[in-house]
Structure 1
Amino acid sequence: MATASAFIDIPASADQVWQLIGGFNTLPDWLPFIPSSELSEGGRVRTLKTADGGTVIERLQTFDNAAKIYSYSIVEAPFPATEYLATIKVEAQGQGARVTWSGRFTANGVSDEEVVALFNGIYQGGLEALRANYPD
């Protein structure tokens, strides 16, 4: 099983950051390459539309509002990976917050290095887009 991870420090409190990203349906609020998200199955499944017209379906696996963390799996996506499980976590870091986005998965049809590079890029790009919501 391969893993990818990225983090970013944000000049806002962990509570402020969690308020923006802590909802399972909030990706369009901070992630430009996900312009829409629709919930189903009582809020446990989200269907995401990507900026290039693709569809990604994800299932919420764990959610802890107090700890500011949730995990989700991919039900359907155009990614070369199976057994995908990712986690988004917000922690207090000095005067600000540290957001970590990490995942584990099995490469499917490509090398581990290729799929790790793909998800590292998605996570880092997503976190940089999040950071843009909090000017210094």
Structure 2
Amino acid sequence: MARVYVTMVLDADIEQAWGVLRDFNGLPDYHPMFAESHIEDGRPADQVGCVRNFVDHEGGRIREELLALSDREYLCAYRILEAGMPVRNYVSQMRLWPVTESGQTFGEWWAEFDVDPADEAATVERVTETFRQAFQSVSARFSR
């Protein structure tokens, strides 16, 4: 099983960062890799069990199911249902913590998944870069 773990201090307070990252359908609004997204079956984007169907700028489609969303714990967890990546049993969680001394936010994002050894290095790098770019984009939005 492969594991990706990315952390970053975001130049935003926790409410600002969470306001962007909690939107399960909002990837194209802040993430440079993604072009469009919709929630299937007209369900709300904050309803556990909803499925987001999104496309990157190269036309790759991914479907993910929301497993948990907590405004109290600033936590979002999801799993991949379908993707153009060679992953199986992919589960991910993003969580935010306030940095009380600076008013910034500490973000952590991890994923665990099965992948064939021949594809592991490239897939781990792709997932790592996806998480890193998400945090960088949110941080830049609120940069002081």
Given the two structures, how large is their TM-score scaled by the length of structure 2?
0.86
> What is the number of residues matched between the two proteins?
136
**SS of match in other structure, 1:16:** helix
Return the match for 2:116 from 100, 103, 108.
Answer: 108
**In structure 1, distance between residues paired with 2:104 and 2:11:** 5
- Distance in structure 2 (CA, Å) of the matches to 1:110 and 1:61: 29
Give distance in 1, aligned partners of 2:119 and 2:59.
26
Corresponding residue SS for 2:114:
strand
Structure 1 residues 110-135: Cα deviation after superposition (integer angstroms, max 9, x where no partner): 35333322221221222222222122
* Consecutive unaligned residues in structure 1, runs of 5 or more: none
Alpha-carbon distance in 2 for matches of 1:112, 1:120: 12
Partner residue, 1:66: 72
Residue in 2 aligned with 1:52? 58
Residue equivalent to 1:26 = 26
- Structure 2: distance between partners of 1:91 and 1:122: 20
2:137 equivalent among 120, 123, 129: 129
Q: Name the Cα RMSD after superposition.
A: 1.6
Question: Is the 1:57–1:76 contact (alpha carbons within 8 Å) kept by the matching residues of 2?
Answer: yes
Percentage of identical aligned residues = 21
What TM-score do you get using the length of structure 1 for normalisation? 0.90
Q: Distance in 1 between matches of 2:55 and 2:123?
A: 21
The aligned amino acid for 2:121 is: E
